[in-house]
Structure 1
Amino acid sequence: MTISAPSTAWPDGLLLAYYGDDFTGSTDAMEAMTAAGVPTVLFLTPPTAAMLARFPDVRCIGLAGSSRGRSPAWMKEHLPALFARLAALGAPILQYKVCSTFDSSAETGSIGCAIDLGVRHMPGLWSPMIVGAPRLKRYQVFGNLFAAVDGVGHRLDRHPTMAHHPVTPMGEADLRLHLGQQTARRIALIDMVVLQQGSETADAVLSTRAGADTPVVLIDVLDDATLLAAGRLLWEQRGEGVFSASSSGLQYALAAYWRALGLLPQQAGLPTAESVAAIAVVSGSCSPVTAGQIRWARENGFHTERLVLDRALNPSMRDAEINRVVDSASAAIQRGISAVVYSAEGPNDASVLGFDAMAATAKLSRADAARSVGTALAEVMRRLLDQADLQRIVVAGGDSSGEVASALDISALSVIAGLAPGAPLCRVWSDNPRRDGLQIVLKGGQIGGDGFFGEVVAGRPINT
């Protein structure tokens, strides 16, 4: 492939357009760009010309999706049109934004399927993949993905959560092998040794990897130096445009390189928010991280209320169960007490261990039952907003975030303040005046410390 000289200026128009495979990951990518100084907006439906006109200075556009929990058949039906809409916006990089823990399998959330569909919409001779994101404690070394928990690094196939994920357990940390179970496409690697040898070596190696078959080329990221090198390689070798299935590591890498070129300010960051009297939280996350946050909330004055799943999945009991938790949470909020409504408290919760049996009793598939829980939590939040005077809300769990955001008449989101990395405080844009201006946090299961919900109330980190 042709090796281009470094660019010292941005091209006109959009720099990046991305589809997020879940809602929390979509806001993570938006946060990374906004914090770096790149104006970014996340849409919940493909933006119309009128919607885009509301954001004349935007340089990065995201579209929040739900493909992480979908089948390849669903992807083949829905993703091509969405990719085409995003590609038509003219950005030189079209990204399929994936989780930094690479949640996927051949049957559910297939990243390989998404790549096979997406590369058709961009002319590039390679499909770069950046997954490592040191800010999020995610590291890729010689193609293997690692994540740190409580200061301890774990290979993903030995990670305390991802190795036992209920839907997409990680059985292989080498992303070449894991992805190879999802696509027949050629998969190559630019490893950290190549990156450390400098740009000429990396460009030369890439020229031997790229080709008319548009291979996936993973790029190692271990630290700030390899992050910068990965961003340089992607940006300078984008050619006429590339499709990239990557985590927000792509955003961090591009920002690092643009900063090195002087195109972005050296001191990036997000403002802190003012505190609020009380918040409402709904959680569909089964993560032990979120379980710790629920326990912290209970021990620190929050009202916590469990959504009883066998009732929520029973059509004759569903509305009454939703009303029960809404009335309880609303009464707390009206007294100035923050409320958390949750469906599970960690991976060993009885509602998780017994979920298949509850789904079978309700005559639902596991996927349909999970979606039903998400829509129940969405209805809880919708009714809470109608009953209580709320300025700020939180949704925990990627699938739950998608269901809730879709139920609240949200057209778009923009970042207004930072909290934990990967979970910013966002402003809601909506044609519904009751929703426009609402502040929302969409939090992935693995994001934040124990006191995260307290931080959302305070608008800043707190000592936990």
Structure 2
Amino acid sequence: MLSGCIGDDFTGSSDLANTLSKQGMRVTQYCGIPTTNADPAVEAGVVALKSRSIPAADAIAQSLAALDWLHAQGCQQFLFKYCSTFDSTPDGNIGPVADALADSLGARKVVVCPAFPGAGRTLYQGHLFVQDRPLNESGMEHHPLNPMNDSDIRRFLARQTTSRVGHVAFADVRRGAAVIADALTREDAMDARLIVVDALSDDDLMAIGEALDGLPLLTGGSGIAMGLPRNFRRKGLLSGQGGTWQGVSGKAVVLSGSCSAATRDQIAQHRDAGRPAREITADDAVAGQVDPAEVAAWAIAQDALPLIYSSADPARVKAAQQTHGRDRVAAAIEALFANIARAVVAAGMARLIVAGGETSGAVVEGLGLTALDIGPEIAPGAPALRASRPTGDITLALKSGNFGGPDFFAEASTVLRGA
């Protein structure tokens, strides 16, 4: 294994695996920390954790355990992957985990670059934009778990880390890899260990990737991985033999716990098209008034693609959190979706489209999946995935809340079938 990656949620990890696979690496996504060694043919291993919103100390412990496993597989370079909207709070977890990984590896010049231009996330003068809006005006300021109220990644990160935060501005990035490498050295000489690097295009990310050749640790969104495979290819280390992937037939279902604006639009599109949809409220989830077996029976009985969702607008989410407590609401919804996922698969569903990072993590853990094969891209940042199971393989799409076009659910169902 050449590249060892640690993702702080399951959708972001599949996004990263997709990026590396498209660039020619043979990739496997592991669901949690494996207990056995990897297949020697795997060139990039992505360990997907559910560590984005847990206490920082727990996130650090899990990330270091993942690092130890990846180190044992022979990895030459490590990547800590978080969301392209930098989902975190002033207490963590991005800064604390990055510090811990850097300490373990003795790493300096640790790049911080959440940019993903293909999904509209760009970084300019240290500020993160979503399309044409600063991060804190993009809707992310209303995120129920990680509200982002500051677009200046340098300033936000400085609240989380004990390291000095540096910056490589776009004026240096646009001049190419050699200048970027010199700028990283300059920031390192000024005792900056975590260094925010601007990026406005895929070409910028490719140049940044070239500048990172040989550095032990980098951090960012999936875009930062675009230029890394080329470094290994230039050294003759890639086999050129990607993995194989096949779709599966059988019924499909959509499970959505994301409250992002993009997902709510996708739900509206689904309902407007006359497809079956069933809402689960936070109140019902907390009260335990939803029977997963009954919900699964409803889903399996539908002729068209069924949608089961708990994706309310920010005002309703906030009201539920004030009534029941934020952690209680989140735990109840995640546990319910895990139980529903088990029930629908047991009922014969073979294709699952899941929206939302926390929901995706709950579903994957609930199904006991350990490794995922990477398939074709459904939308930027959202590949098709396949899991081998003794009772029959299933295919999945694990979608970050903000990703995908208006008809993503139907498109994903088609791709997961292998069409």
- Partner residue in 1 for 2:18: 31
Equivalent position of 2:254 in the other structure: 281
CA, structure 1 residues 418+221, in 2 after alignment: closer, same or farther (shift >3 Å)?
same
In 2, the alpha carbon distance for the partners of 1:391 and 1:167 equals 30
**What is residue 147 of structure 1 aligned with on the other side?**
130
Query: Which of 54, 58, 67 is the aligned partner of 2:42?
Result: 58
328, 338, 341: which is aligned to 1:378?
338
**1:87 aligns to 2:87 (yes or no):** no
Within 2, Cα distance between the matches of 1:172 and 1:443?
24
Correspondence 1:121 to 2:100: no
Out of 186, 194, 210, the position equivalent to 2:164 is 186
What is the Cα deviation at residue 309 of structure 1?
A: 2.6
Q: Which residue of 1 aligns with 2:52?
A: 68
Change (3 A) 1:197 1:274: closer
Residues 48 and 214 of structure 1: CA distance in aligned 2, closer, same or farther (over 3 Å): farther
Matched, 1:40 2:20: no
Three-state SS of the structure 1 residue aligned to 2:11 is helix
Bigger shift: residues 409-418 or 194-203: 194-203
RMSD: 2.8
Identity %: 29
Cα offset, 1:382, TM superposition: 0.8
Which residue is equivalent to 1:312? Answer: 285
Per the alignment, in what secondary structure is the counterpart of residue 383 of structure 1? helix
Alignment-derived partner of residue 320 in structure 2? 355
C-alpha spacing 1:419/1:285, structure 2 compared with 1 (3 Å): same
User: 329, 332, 354: which one pairs with 2:299?
Assistant: 329
CA distance in 2, matches of 1:59, 1:264: 7
Task: Kindly provide the amino acid, as one letter, of the partner of residue 366 in structure 1.
Answer: R
Q: Is the 1:311–1:321 Cα contact (8 Å) retained in structure 2? A: no
Provide, for residues 381-410 of structure 1, a one-character-per-residue CA deviation record: whole Å limited to 9, x for no partner. 1111112x3221111110011111001121
Superposition deviation, residue 193 in structure 1:
1.1
8 Å Cα contact 2:112/2:195 also seen in 1: yes
Tell me, what secondary structure is at the counterpart of 2:52? Answer: helix
Structure of greater Rg: 1
Matched, 1:343 2:310: yes
CA 1:278–1:425: 2 relative to 1, 3 Å? same
Q: CA deviation at 1:77?
A: 4.2
Partner secondary structure for residue 170 of structure 1:
coil
- Residue 95 of structure 1 and its aligned partner are, at CA, apart by 1.6
Deviation at 1:130, TM superposition (A): 2.4
The residue type paired with residue 385 of structure 2 is C
Corresponding residue SS for 2:75:
coil
Q: 1:174 aligns with which of 124, 135, 152?
A: 152
The change in CA–CA distance for 1:274 and 1:382 in structure 2 (over 3 A counts) is: closer
Cα distance change on mapping 1:261 and 1:78 into 2, 3 Å: closer
Provide the residue aligned with 2:220 in structure 1.
246
Question: Unpaired runs of 5+ in structure 1?
Answer: 1-13, 360-364
Q: After superposing the two structures, state which structure 1 stretch, 165-174 or 441-450, moved more.
A: 165-174
TM-score, reference length from structure 2: 0.91
Aligned pair in 2 of structure 1 residues 200, 443: CA closer, same or farther (>3 Å)?
Answer: closer
CA deviations over 1:208-237 (Å, ceiling 9, x no partner): 2225967012221112332221011111x5
CA deviation digits over 1:109-129, x for unaligned, max 9?
421111111112213332122
Q: CA deviation at 1:42?
A: 0.7
Deviation at 1:355, TM superposition (A): 1.3
- State how far apart, in whole Å, the 1-side matches of 2:236 and 2:68 are: 32
The code of the aligned residue for 1:453 comes to F
Shift of 1:326: 2.4
Deviations 1:55-96 (A, max 9, x none): 331110011111111122322443333322223333222121
Give the SS at the match of 1:391. strand
Deviation of residue 187 (structure 1)? Answer: 1.0
Check conservation: 2:382, 2:398, Cα contact below 8 A.
Answer: yes
The change in CA–CA distance for 1:273 and 1:411 in structure 2 (over 3 A counts) is closer
Partner of 2:62: 78
Distance 2:57 2:33 in 1: 21
Unaligned runs of 5+ in 2: none
Q: Could you tell me whether the CA contact under 8 Å between 2:245 and 2:373 is conserved in 1?
A: no
Q: Secondary structure at the match of 1:344?
A: coil
Report the counterpart of residue 438 of structure 1 in structure 2. 394
Query: Does the 8 A contact of 1:112 with 1:183 survive in 2?
Result: yes
Q: CA deviation at 1:101?
A: 0.5
Structure 1 residue 424 corresponds to structure 2 residue 398: no
Mapping of residues 403-422 of structure 1, within 5 Å:
403-422=362-381
- May I ask how many residue pairs the two structures share in their alignment? 417
Summarize the Cα distance change of 1:185–1:324 in structure 2 as closer, same or farther, 3 Å threshold: same
The letter of the residue matching 1:41 is T
Aligned equivalents of 1:304, 1:119: Cα separation in 2: 46
Deviations 1:143-192 (A, max 9, x none): 111111xxxx1111221x21222222222212110100111211111222
The 1:277–1:219 alpha-carbon spacing in structure 2 relative to 1, beyond 3 Å, is same
User: How far 1:205 sits from its partner (Å)?
Assistant: 2.5
- C-alpha separation in 1, matches of 2:183 and 2:345: 54
Q: In the alignment, what sits opposite 1:163?
A: 141
Matches within 5 A, 1:199-218: 199-210=177-188, 215-218=193-196
* Matched position secondary structure for 2:144: coil
